[in-house]
Amino acid sequence: MQYILLLISLSTIFGGPPSDLVDQYQYEYFKIPYNKTFYSGYLEPEEIFDHHFHYIFYPNDKSDVPVILWLNGGPGCSSLTGAMIENGPFVFIGGTPIFEENEYSWARFAHMLYVETPVGVGFSYKDDGNTTTSDDVTAQNNYYMLQAFYRKFPEYKQNDLYIAGESYAGTYIPTLVNKIIEDSQSNIHIRGMMIGNGCTDAAECTKEAKYFPYYKFQFLANHNFISQKLSDYIEIHKEKCQFNNEQFCQDLYQDILTETNLDDSYEYNPYNVYGTCYQPPVQTPQGERIPYAKNKFDPFDIIQGHIPPCSDAVGLYHYLRDDEFREFLNIRSQSDEWAKCQSLNYTKDPRATYHLYPKIMSKGIKILKFSGDVDGVVPITGTIYWIEKLQKELNLPTIQQWRPWFKSNKQNAGNLWEIDGLLFVSVRNAGHMVPADQKEAAFIMAHNFIFDVPFPQE
């Protein structure tokens, strides 16, 4: 009875539903280095009552700071990766099941909301188990999910909202923002979006557009994974193959695969070409891993089901498949066994989301595009290409010329370049998951973007 009264008391102080409040008495049991309240439960939209979106929410002590909705990609990958590997308040030490405090957590300057979406991902579920969806359906359902959050936590309705994420969230985020601005009745205070190494244009999402992955090969050539001779040969045939997939280009593609010898993902981490490739024995307690499919250079052409190649999932699997930890997070029996990535019957729009940017920019939505500069999956070369194309098509002036920016120790953190309505930031020595690889740089980047603080110049 005393415990129930405590939950009600904490809920009164912090807001939010008492049933979703995570039991602080168990923090020590799970060795969680955190001393604040957080929530874990389900967002259940009235419009799609058979959908149950699992969320984790870390409120900030300051009530008036922005809410950040964080989404991981896939499609089919869990946002708990973001919460427990990247920018949550406690994260796993790399390659271990041990939590440590994250001094660069984004929860230090915002209310952080992580949602596993679409249903069928992580602990999110649908009553009939049918996970068939598409880009448009997912966007609409995510909009309903967001409204369900505000019904559950009405005290945050007036706060600015930023939607952030990486990888296929480059599709989730603009399509969700588009749904918000299309609804004339919406009272959501959408302020901006932050997308890292995200699928935006055919230059990055070559498989969906059936294009030759020129910018991926350009990236590999820049990092000496391809010989100068083959690189020169690719450049000669750039115009012929850049936006084409005829037989000659397919043959050239196979020549590149043969020379680079990147078929064995045990020795090559495509998500960070200079990073660790975690081996099967340390991947999960069961030693599970997922190989690449035939297209070694497509970020989303993996045999979905558990773990993208080389990624660190040791701590995630150790805890999120533990029955006691599930209970700690208020996970229902209807939720499946947790997996980092799940296979979904998912239909993608081959246009990706490039076509939405003019509309979003016209509404004054702030846009941050950030890119880990050693990601071989959604490489910086393709991102810069489409931003330059957008600037030219919309005749947008340059606000800041390309320049370096710095971390607190005055070490170079990357580069930035700003056009009217869009800030591009590269993060040095970061791969596909920037906040996991470079936590301090990611913290400075997100904080300064949201609060309009100039990026350090030395």
Is residue 250 in some structural domain?
Answer: no
Is residue 228 in some structural domain?
Answer: no
Confidence (pLDDT) at 261: 62
Is residue 17 in some structural domain?
Answer: yes
How many independent structural domains does the chain possess? Answer: 1
What does the pLDDT look like over 284-305, one tens digit per residue? Answer: 433 343 333 333 334 334 333 4
Bridge partners, 253 (sequence order): none
Which range among 63-67, 214-218, 342-346 shows the weakest confidence by mean pLDDT?
214-218
Is residue 406 in some structural domain?
Answer: yes
What does the pLDDT look like over 404-415, one tens digit per residue? Answer: 999 988 899 999
- What's the whole-number mean pLDDT along residues 21-30? 94
Indicate if the pLDDT at residue 450 is higher than 90.
Answer: yes
Which range among 95-109, 258-272, 314-328 shows the weakest confidence by mean pLDDT?
258-272
Query: 97: domain range?
Result: 2-205+350-450
Confidence (pLDDT) at 250: 77
Confidence (pLDDT) at 321: 95
Sequence-distant (6+) residues with CB within 8 A of 145 are: 43, 45, 51, 53, 115, 117
Confidence (pLDDT) at 290: 39
What does the pLDDT look like over 377-400, one tens digit per residue? Answer: 899 999 999 999 999 999 999 999
- What's the whole-number mean pLDDT along residues 151-170? 97
Is residue 269 in some structural domain?
Answer: no
Pick 446 or 341 by higher pLDDT.
446
Instruction: Indicate the pLDDT class of residue 7, thresholds 50, 70 and 90.
Output: very low
Confidence (pLDDT) at 284: 40
Q: What is the 3-state secondary structure (H, E, C) of the chain?
A: CHHHHHHHHHHHHHCCCHHHECCHHHCCCCCCCCCCCCEEEEECCCCCCCEEEEEEEECCCCCCCCEEEEECCCCCECCHHHHHHHCCCEEECCCCCCEEECCCCHHHCCEEEEECCCCCCCCCEECCCCCCEEHHHHHHHHHHHHHHHHHHCHHHCCCCEEEEEECCHHHHHHHHHHHHHHCCCCCCCEEEEEEECCCCCCCCCHHHHCCCCHHHHHHHHHCCCCCHHHHHHHHHCHHHHCCCCCHHHHHHHHHHHHHHCCCCCCCCCCCCCCCCCCCHHHHCCCCCCCCECCCCCCCCCECCCCCCCCCCCHHHHHHHCCHHHHHHCCCCCCCCCCCCECCCCEECCCCCCHHHHHHHHHCCCEEEEEEECCCCCCCHHHHHHHHHHHHHHHCCCEEEEEEEEECCCCCEEEEEEEECCEEEEEECCCCCCHHHHCHHHHHHHHHHHHCCCCCCCC
Is residue 244 in some structural domain?
Answer: no
Is residue 130 in some structural domain?
Answer: yes
| Spatial distance between the Cα atoms of 451 and 65, rounded to a whole number of angstroms | 10
Indicate if the pLDDT at residue 225 is higher than 70.
Answer: yes
Is residue 182 in some structural domain?
Answer: yes
Confidence (pLDDT) at 234: 82
CATH number of the domain enclosing 61: 3.40.50.1820
